[in-house]
Amino acid sequence: MLDFNKNEPTFFITYKKKNRPHSYQNDCDDYVLRNELRGSMITEQNNQCFYCEKKIENGSNKIHIDHIKQRDAFHALECDYNNMVLSCNGGKKEEHCGKYKDKQESWNDDKFLRILPQNIQLQEKASDFFNYISNGKIQPKQSLSSDEKTRANNTIDYLMLNHRNLVEARKSLFFQLELYRREGYDTTHIFSFFQEFHSIFFE
């Protein structure tokens, strides 16, 4: 899961000042606007799904703008750029990431990572919570408190981050990463070949 790195683009700030949107579905229902938003987010996220870090491409029907805190429960955040990330659509038969999340309960800062808390001082970084291990799975860091481990595990389950397809993809990447390192390639160079699963390379 990527660390939170948001910088609201000028075009969206201008759009909101001019149109004062309240409903994302109704007031931001514009193809050009949403495509520009995707472009901004795909740059922020380095062409990766915010949740699982798989490689994504703009213009693909396999991605969507996801509201971290669901629109139906957090109306005040519907048009808040900080609440929007790009998510893949998950697997063909079994979903994960944003699509899977939105079929469950609403995001709860007491149960999951505090990615977007009301008090910004309480904001947490995914990289402080998760370890990526060579068998392809994500697990909470051992250094976490009991509450933090519980919320980390809840977040993994909530987003289905240990979906078998993701586990197999990460496991394969660990194997290839080791081969490249034996050949003397540095981490940044190797990442440029794959451009996904950033946390595996730079945790």
Averaged pLDDT, 154-158: 98
Residue that wins the pLDDT comparison between 144 and 25: 144
pLDDT at 47: 94
Averaged pLDDT, 23-46: 91
pLDDT band at 4 (very low <50, low <70, confident <90, very high): confident
pLDDT at 71: 93
Percent of the chain scored above 70 by pLDDT?
Answer: 99
Using left for φ > 0, alpha for ψ between -120 and 50, and beta otherwise, residue 30 falls in beta
pLDDT at 149: 98
pLDDT tens digit sequence for 55-114: 998 777 889 999 999 999 999 999 999 999 999 998 777 789 999 999 999 999 999 999
pLDDT at 182: 92
